[in-house]
Chain A
Amino acid sequence: DGGITQSPKYLFRKEGQNVTLSCEQNLNHDAMYWYRQDPGQGLRLIYYSQIVNDFQKGDIAEGYSVSREKKESFPLTVTSAQKNPTAFYLCASSALGTYTDTQYFGPGTRLTVL
């Protein structure tokens, strides 16, 4: 099956710890995205990448970091600098070269800071 996988589904972190969320896609998409979703709110863009070894900050990048060493993978690290990290994190991908930028989402990771 083609698609996007995220792991783990649930993640618990103690304050002051860094944690890395995994995102893998086998859709051969060039672009990948990370969003944060809080209850009752829409998706807010954290980082995005359109090509390997390149990425750009989104609207709420502070306290987060990413890497794009492979086309298939776009891990997100939530650092201790992120003041309120408890949220639902969604990874997405899209094919560049199309006009529509339709995004395909993974199942999400729910992060809870204890």
Chain B
Amino acid sequence: SQKIEQNSEALNIQEGKTATLTCNYTNYSPAYLQWYRQDPGRGPVFLLLIRENEKEKRKERLKVTFDTTLKQSLFHITASQPADSATYLCALRSGSARQLTFGSGTQLTVLP
């Protein structure tokens, strides 16, 4: 069956360090993968998209990698700040399906 797994439910890091979040998937052939940020009690907000033929995408302090051989995406936040504390969700679209399937998310806490 298809599955999306995000590493550890919670991740704590010190301010200024790089946070790395993992998204693994099985039995998908995703055309692209998206990352969203969700704050408590709010709806998710789109951050970045990476296509199957792209290895890396950057946006300010954010970097996403996509390895279709390993079936894994890594999401990095460099020079992390307490304001980066949130839950981060990865989402996949597969082939022609016009739906996204979301992982359960990783809750990131950046400690001052």
Interface residues of chain A, those whose CB is within 8 Å of chain B, are 4, 31, 33, 35, 40-43, 45, 48, 50, 58, 88, 90, 92, 96, 99-108, 110
Chain B residues near A100 (CB, 8 Å)?
32, 34, 49
The answer, among A31, A43, A90, for a CB contact under 8 Å with B98, is: A31
B69-112, CB < 8 A from A: 89, 93, 98-105
Chain B residues near A102 (CB, 8 Å)?
34, 46, 49
Known contacts A40-B104, A41-B104, A43-B89; A105/B45 CB under 8 A: yes
Task: Categorize the interface residue count of chain B.
Answer: 20 to 34
CB atoms of A43 and B102 under 8 A apart: yes
The closest CB in chain B to the CB of A110 belongs to B41
CB atoms of A42 and B105 under 8 A apart: yes
CB atoms of A42 and B46 under 8 A apart: no
Minimum CB–CB distance from A54 to chain B (whole Å) comes to: 12
